[in-house]
Amino acid sequence: MQPIPFPHHADSANRLLIWTPDQIIPVSCMFIIGLLTDTLSISIVIGLILSWAYTRYSSGKPDGFLLHAAYWYGMLPLPARSAINPFNRRILPK
């Protein structure tokens, strides 16, 4: 019987098999674009290249950098009923 790997820290990154969500997002977006445009094989290759390039780019940045950048530019839908507009750069008290 093989031992099951258990995370050593409570804040370890979430993973789907061997990939983090930041690495899956470019591949899944290009997969959907490839399905819609009938260029699936080319789009998957482009998605893998984008994921590799993003992994190299974000190696010195904190976890979830892509999700934070998507929120910053207003492209991340939130499950809450209301959220602060990401285009407001300064929030002043009333």
As given in the structure block, the two tokens for residue 58 are 């974000």
Mean pLDDT of 59-73: 78
pLDDT for 7-40, tens place per residue? 667 666 677 777 877 788 889 999 999 999 999 9
| Number of other CB atoms surrounding residue 37 within 10 Å | 10
Task: Tell me how far apart the alpha carbons of residues 76 and 22 are, in angstroms, rounded to a whole number.
Answer: 13
Note the pLDDT of residue 20: 79
Backbone angles phi, psi at 67, to 5 degrees: -65, -40
How far apart, in Å, are the Cα atoms of 10 and each of 18, 66, 74?
Answer: 18, 21, 29
